[in-house]
Amino acid sequence: MTTPTITPYLKDGIELDQIIVQGIRVTGFHGVYAREKESGQLFLADVVAHVSTRTAADRDELGRTVNYSDIADRAAEVLGGDPADLLETVAEHIARAILEMPGVQAVDVIVHKPQAPLHVEFRDVMVKIRRDLRSGTLWADKRIGSSAGGFADPLAPAPRSTDPGDAQPLQPVTAYLGLGGNIGDVEASFREALWELHRIPGIEVTGASSLFRTRPVGGTEQADFLNAVVQLETALAPRALLAACQGIEVLHGRERLIPNGPRTLDVDLLAFGDLELESEDLEVPHPRAAERAFVLQPWATLAPDFVLPGFGRIGDLAAAVGSDGVELVEERWPALQRKASSQE
């Protein structure tokens, strides 16, 4: 039984790695005819999970990769689970189960029905699909941080709220995010975060600062950080944008265990237009943005004339705090595309 060739899945022109589990065999009860649901027959599935394996490879840790045993178990559970009339439905359910796994960006699923009730000789019947995180509710669940119990379109009209943190802007707002990290291939994580942001409905990444290296501050012994600032246009409410940032952190294994400690990826909301807001879970502008050289020095290379509400012009703030402990690594980083790749 031959599996069709799987074409690469690209993220901004970068080919993702593949974890392939082939020939998962289960007796299932899927089919249109009553006898198929009663007696059952053999079904097979091939699953290709498109992931980045860099962090797992660098650290040689099972917990930082997608476990192929879990892939097989999830596919087998669907194959042997509730009967469906169509192979298309079975494939869709497998794809959704795999996309729920942290780290999976896209999945190819091929479902085989070699004992299908046809009236001619044949070798196999297959349905092949490709799905990614934008296919249905999983985009909202994993990217925006909505409840896993239902769909939450970030651009859908929200219930009326008096909280400005939940108010969707009438027109796109310029916002700024700070990126930081010192575990693994940080520059690659930054590039992935840019792509992930750009793919969220209601967000268009429009610029990125130069890349800087920062000496860590505090008592914890750790590697130097990389830092950058991202500019975007967004139609999301401030709190929805913050949730998107936190969701991307989680996808990259962000753990908040030690204050000022090592981390894979920080995505901080620095500013949201001219909004000034302070609440229990959201403070805009970021309360420490105006005093951090590792924020201001990159920011000044991107938008020196932006006025940080309540503080002043970014270029002036950067000059005031200086650049002690912060050094330029790469002036033109990254080669940012204005439109995210649409190839899937």
Q: How confident is the model at residue 219 (pLDDT cuts 50, 70, 90)?
A: low
- Say which range, 4-8, 70-74, 198-202, 294-298, has the weakest mean pLDDT: 4-8
Per-residue pLDDT, 4: 56
Active site residue 113: yes
What secondary structure does DSSP assign to 159-170, as a single string? Answer: PP-S-GGGPPPS
pLDDT reading at 140 higher than 60 = no
> Which is the catalytic residue, given 113, 128, 142, 339?
113
Phi, psi of 173 (to 5 degrees): -110, 140
% of the chain beyond a pLDDT of 70: 83
Per-residue pLDDT, 150: 32
Taking the C-alpha atoms of residue 332 and residue 51, their distance in angstroms, rounded to an integer, is 27
Assign 206 to helix, strand or coil.
Answer: strand
Domain 9-59+66-132 fold is: GTP Cyclohydrolase I, domain 2 (3.30.1130)
Tens of pLDDT, residue by residue over 25-57, are 999 999 999 988 888 899 999 999 998 888 778
Bond before 285 cis per omega within 30 degrees: yes
pLDDT reading at 324 higher than 50 = yes
| Same fold flag, 9-59+66-132 and 165-330 | no
pLDDT reading at 16 higher than 90 = no
Mean pLDDT, residues 286-309 taken together: 95
Q: How confident is the model at residue 145 (pLDDT cuts 50, 70, 90)?
A: very low
Per-residue pLDDT, 321: 93
Q: Which long-range contacts (CB under 8 A, 24 or more apart) does 72-76 make?
A: 72/21, 72/24, 72/47, 74/98, 74/101, 75/21, 75/24, 75/45, 75/47, 75/109, 76/24, 76/26, 76/45
CA 139 to chain centre: 9
Tens of pLDDT, residue by residue over 79-136, are 999 999 999 999 999 999 998 888 888 899 999 999 999 889 888 999 999 998 765 3
% of the chain beyond a pLDDT of 90: 48
| CATH no., domain 165-330 | 3.30.70.560
Per-residue pLDDT, 136: 39
| Domain ranges within the chain, ordered by starting residue | 9-59+66-132, 165-330
Mean pLDDT, residues 221-239 taken together: 91
E-assigned strands of 221-305?
225-234, 266-272, 277-278, 283-284
Structure tokens at 168: 């969707």
